[in-house]
Amino acid sequence: MTMTSTARRVDASAASIDSAALQHQQQPPKAPSRPYDPQYDPLLAPDPGAGRAYAPTWWVASAGSPPEDDGPLTQDIDVDVAVIGSGATGMSTALYLAQEHGIRATVLEANQAAWGCSSRSGGQGQNASGRLKRSQWIERWGLDTAKKLDAEIRSGFENFRHLTTQIDCDACDGGHLYLAHRKEKLPILDAEARLMREKFGYATRMMSAEEVRRDYCDERETVGAMYEAEGIGIHPLKFTFGLMRRARALGVTVHTSSPVQGWETIDGVHHLRTPGGVVRARRVAVCTGGYTGQALNPMLKDRIMPILSNSVVTRPLTDAELQATNFRSKTFLTDTRTLRFYYRLLEGNRLQIGSRSAVSGADAEGAVHLKLLTDAIARKFPPLAGIRIDYSWWGWVDMSHDMMPRITQPDSSRSIWYAVGYGGNGVSFSTWAGKRLAERVAGKDAGKEVFELPIYHSQLPFPNVLGVVESRAFAPFRRLGQRMLYKWYWLRDEK
C-alpha cells in the first residue's frame, strides 16, 4: 500500500485534505528506500520494515531536516552496547549512556530516525507514565509505594521540563486541562484533584466550565475540568531530533534503515542480524515501544499490546475562528472518555486532535476513524465544523497488560534490558526511562532503592482476564477482547 492510495482513501471521507500538504507528505525530508506502509501491524509483521518513509504527520512536515545519521549498517561490527529503536526512549538511553557513563552506544533503527511514536504523538508531556492515575497506584500498591513512585515520575517530569528548555521544540509549559465530558465525571475528577493535593502536594484544582471557556477555549462539551499545573506540550519530533543531535555529538552512532531481523546469543554475545550486517553486542537495550515485533526476542513476545491512536491536524485557524472558539491558550486538553480525545492548539494556530478507535493495521485507514475525529472537532468547537484537515495519521501505542511500563532487565543472567509499556504517556517519561535504563545497562543500579519500585523490579506481564488470571494463552484473543471493550467503552461514555 503506497502513500498515494492512503491519501485517496482519506480524501474520500467526510473531511477535506489539503493537496499541497499531501504532496509534502509524499516527499519526506530524506529519501527513504521504501514507501510508508499505512497498514503495518506489529502483531502481524515480524519487524516495522526497513528504510520505510515517515508517517504523513504534521511533525514530519514541520521539524526541518532530520539530523545527520550513520546510514544503514553495511558490515558486521562488534559493539559494547546496542540500542534497538531511535525514538525518545532509545535516543535518551544512548544520550545518558554517553553523557553519564562514558558508553558510546550504537543505535539500530529499522526506518528513519524517530520513525515510530516519537514522530506521531500528541506531544502532550504529562506528569505521568502508564495509564493508571495516582488513586489507582494507591489501590494497587498502597500509599507508601505510590508516594515513592510519584517522587520518581515527578523527577522524570522535571528532567523533561529542563530538557524542553535546552532543546528547541516549541515547548508550551502551560499545564494540563482534564475536561469532564459529562456531569457524572466531575466527582471523579474532583476526588482525584483532592488526592493530588492532599496526598502528593500538588496544586491540582477544579475549574468550572465557564472558567475553561473564558480563560482557555470555548470547548462546548465540557461541564468542568481538573487543572494540573504540570504539563508541557512539545513538538515531539523536534524534541527527539534534539536528543539525537546531542547523543551523536557525544559519539553515539545511529544506523537507520537497519532493522534487527534476527537475534542469536552465542557465548553471552548478542548477534543482531540486520539486512546490511550483524551487530555483535555485549549488552542490548530494547527501546522499540509499540513497534516491537512479536519475533524480536522471546522475552517480549505477547507482553506488549500495540494499540492504534489516530491523530489529525487542521489547517491554521483564521483570526475569526480563533475568536469564535475563544482560544486563549495552548495548554493541552484531554477529556474523560475511556478512549479519550487529546487535543490542543499548536504553534501556527492549527488544531490537533486524536483518539483511539481502529484496532488492526488493516482497519487503520477506515474513514470511520477519521470521522470520529472530525465529528469531535464539530462537537467540541462548532465554529470549526467541516474545517479542512491537512494531516491525518496513526501510530501504535505500547500498552502493557497491567497498564504500567517496565524499565527492567527481565533475566539477570542475560545482558538484555528494555523500557516499554508507557501506554500513551511516554512523551515526558521516555527520557527519564532512558536515563534509568542507561543506569541499569551501565551496571549502576545495584543496591539503589528506587529500582525496587514496581516499574523497575518486574518484567512486563502477559495478558490477563479481569486482572486475575495472567497467561500467554490469552494472547491470540486480545484483539477480540479489545473490539468488545471498545464497544462497551462507547456505550458507557456516550449513552
Ligand X SMILES: Cc1cc2nc3c(=O)[nH]c(=O)nc-3n(C[C@H](O)[C@H](O)[C@H](O)COP(=O)(O)OP(=O)(O)OC[C@H]3O[C@@H](n4cnc5c(N)ncnc54)[C@H](O)[C@@H]3O)c2cc1C
For ligand X, the binding residues (CB under 6 A) are: 47-48, 84-90, 108-111, 115-118, 120-124, 126, 259-260, 287-293, 296, 309, 311, 342, 354, 395-397, 422, 424-427, 430
Could you tell me the smallest distance in angstroms from the CB atom of residue 256 to ligand X? 9
Query: Which residue's CB is nearer to ligand X, number 170 or number 321?
Result: 170
β-strands 77-84, 106-108: how paired?
Answer: parallel
* 99 phi and psi angles, rounded to 5 deg: -70, -40
Query: Which residue's CB is nearer to ligand X, number 36 or number 321?
Result: 36
Which residue, judged by CB position, is nearest to ligand X in the bound state? 426
Q: What share of the chain is helix, strand, coil (3-state, %, to 5)?
A: 35, 20, 45
Query: Which residue's CB is nearer to ligand X, number 13 or number 111?
Result: 111
Q: Which residues have a Cβ under 8 Å from the Cβ of 476 and sit 6 or more positions away?
A: none
Helical H segments across 314-446, by residue range: 319-324, 367-380, 429-441
Could you tell me the smallest distance in angstroms from the CB atom of residue 418 to ligand X? 10
Query: Which residue's CB is nearer to ligand X, number 160 or number 202?
Result: 160
Query: What is the spatial distance between Cα 119 and Cα 492, in angstroms, rounded to a whole number?
Result: 32
Could you tell me the smallest distance in angstroms from the CB atom of residue 337 to ligand X? 15
Query: Which residue's CB is nearer to ligand X, number 54 or number 209?
Result: 54
Could you tell me the smallest distance in angstroms from the CB atom of residue 164 to ligand X? 13
Query: What is the spatial distance between Cα 138 and Cα 223, in angstroms, rounded to a whole number?
Result: 27
**In a 3-state reduction of DSSP, which class is residue 139?**
helix
User: What is the amino acid identity at position 331?
Assistant: T
Query: Which residue's CB is nearer to ligand X, number 306 or number 321?
Result: 306
Q: Burial, 434: exposed, middle or buried (Cβ in 10 Å; 0-12, 13-18, 19+)?
A: buried
Could you tell me the smallest distance in angstroms from the CB atom of residue 16 to ligand X? 21
Query: What is the spatial distance between Cα 69 and Cα 255, in angstroms, rounded to a whole number?
Result: 7
Query: What is the spatial distance between Cα 135 and Cα 124, in angstroms, rounded to a whole number?
Result: 21
Could you tell me the smallest distance in angstroms from the CB atom of residue 159 to ligand X? 14
Query: What is the spatial distance between Cα 392 and Cα 372, in angstroms, rounded to a whole number?
Result: 12
Helical H segments across 325-452, by residue range: 367-380, 429-441
The three cell numbers locating residue 297: 526476542
Could you tell me the smallest distance in angstroms from the CB atom of residue 319 to ligand X? 27
Query: Which residue's CB is nearer to ligand X, number 178 or number 209?
Result: 178
Query: Which residue's CB is nearer to ligand X, number 354 or number 461?
Result: 354
Query: Which residue's CB is nearer to ligand X, number 216 or number 332?
Result: 332
Contact 423, 403 (CB under 8 A): yes
Could you tell me the smallest distance in angstroms from the CB atom of residue 216 to ligand X? 17
Could you tell me the smallest distance in angstroms from the CB atom of residue 308 to ligand X? 8
Query: What is the spatial distance between Cα 435 and Cα 407, in angstroms, rounded to a whole number?
Result: 10
Could you tell me the smallest distance in angstroms from the CB atom of residue 355 to ligand X? 9
Could you tell me the smallest distance in angstroms from the CB atom of residue 376 to ligand X? 15
Query: Which residue's CB is nearer to ligand X, number 7 or number 296?
Result: 296
Query: Which residue's CB is nearer to ligand X, number 207 or number 399?
Result: 399
**In a 3-state reduction of DSSP, which class is residue 418?**
strand
Contact 231, 124 (CB under 8 A): yes
Q: Which string of DSSP letters, residue by residue, matches 230-266?
A: -EEE--HHHHHHHHHHHHHHTT-EEE-S----EEEEE
Closest to 25 measured CA to CA, from 60, 62, 58, 56 = 56
Closest to 11 measured CA to CA, from 370, 316, 292, 363 = 370
Query: What is the spatial distance between Cα 440 and Cα 108, in angstroms, rounded to a whole number?
Result: 19
Could you tell me the smallest distance in angstroms from the CB atom of residue 446 to ligand X? 25
Query: Which residue's CB is nearer to ligand X, number 116 or number 224?
Result: 116
Query: What is the spatial distance between Cα 394 and Cα 307, in angstroms, rounded to a whole number?
Result: 10
User: What is the amino acid identity at position 90?
Assistant: G
